[in-house]
Amino acid sequence: MITRKTSEIVTSDLSEGKVFLIDKDFGKTSFNVVANIRRIFQVKKVGHAGTLDPAATGLLIVCLGRQKTKEIYKYQDMPKTYTGTITLGVKTPSMDSETEPSEIKNIDGITEQKINEVRNSFLGEIEQIPPMYSALKHKGKALYKYARKGIDLKREARKISIYNFEISEINLPEVKFKIECSKGTYIRVIADDFGDKLGCGAYLSELRRTKIGNYQVDDALTIEGLESLVKETIQTN
C-alpha cells in the first residue's frame, strides 16, 4: 500500500518496505530523490518508478525496501498524466530548456485552429522516436552522453498511446497542455513533433507530472517536507 498520510510515514514499521509519493522539485534529478530517501531512513534498497528530468517537477513514486522495490514495475506500467507548456518558434537539441536554442522561426500565421488540428493528430496509438538526450543505453552508455559530444545515433521508433491531449491555454508563443499517456512516452518529443507539424518548431519549456495511475501529486510530500516531518517526530519521541 502506498503511504499517503504523513503520520504513517514515520510511525509505521519499515521492515516490510514502504512506497512513498514524492513531489520532485525543479532542478533535482530522480536519483537525488532516491539518495535523499536512503539518507533519511538509512535504508540502502530504494528505487523510483519512472524518471523525471531535472527541469520537470511533480509526482515520483519511490519504493523503499527489498520487497517493495521488486514491485516497482507495477507503478512503471501505469498511465501517466502531465501538465506543461510548449513554446513555439524555438527548437533546442534536448527538446526542452536544458540546452540553448538551435533554431528560431517565425510563428506568424499560427492559429488556434491549426494548434488544435495538430493536437488531434497525436491522439491514439502513435510511433515515437526516443530523444538522444535520454538515459536509454547504447553499448552500455546513456544516449545523452553521446548527444553532448554531438553524436546522433539511430534510434528505433516505439509505439506509445496518447489517451487524452488537452490545450488549456494559448498565449503565443506559449501553449499550455494536459496529456494522459502510456509508459515510455517522452513529452519532450511530443513538444518537438508538435512544432514540426506546425512548421515553426517548438520545445518543452515546462513540465509537471500530476498523476501515475490513480495516485496524485496532491497527496505527495516534498523531500524537504518529509525530512522535516521525520525530524519533528524524532524530537517529540
Active-site annotation, residues: 53
CA nearest neighbour of 84 among 198, 3, 178, 4: 178
Asked if residue 130 has a cis previous peptide bond (ω within 30° of 0), the answer is no
Distance of CA 171 to the CA centre of its chain: 23
Question: What gap in Å lies between CA 30 and CA 215, rounded to an integer?
Answer: 18
Residue 53 bridge partners (DSSP): none
Phi, psi of 151 (to 5 degrees): -95, 130
Could you give the angle at the alpha carbon of 168 between the alpha carbons of 157 and 50, nearest 5°? Answer: 45
Q: Which of 223, 202, 227 is nearest to 84 (CA)?
A: 202
In the 8-state DSSP scheme, what is residue 96? B
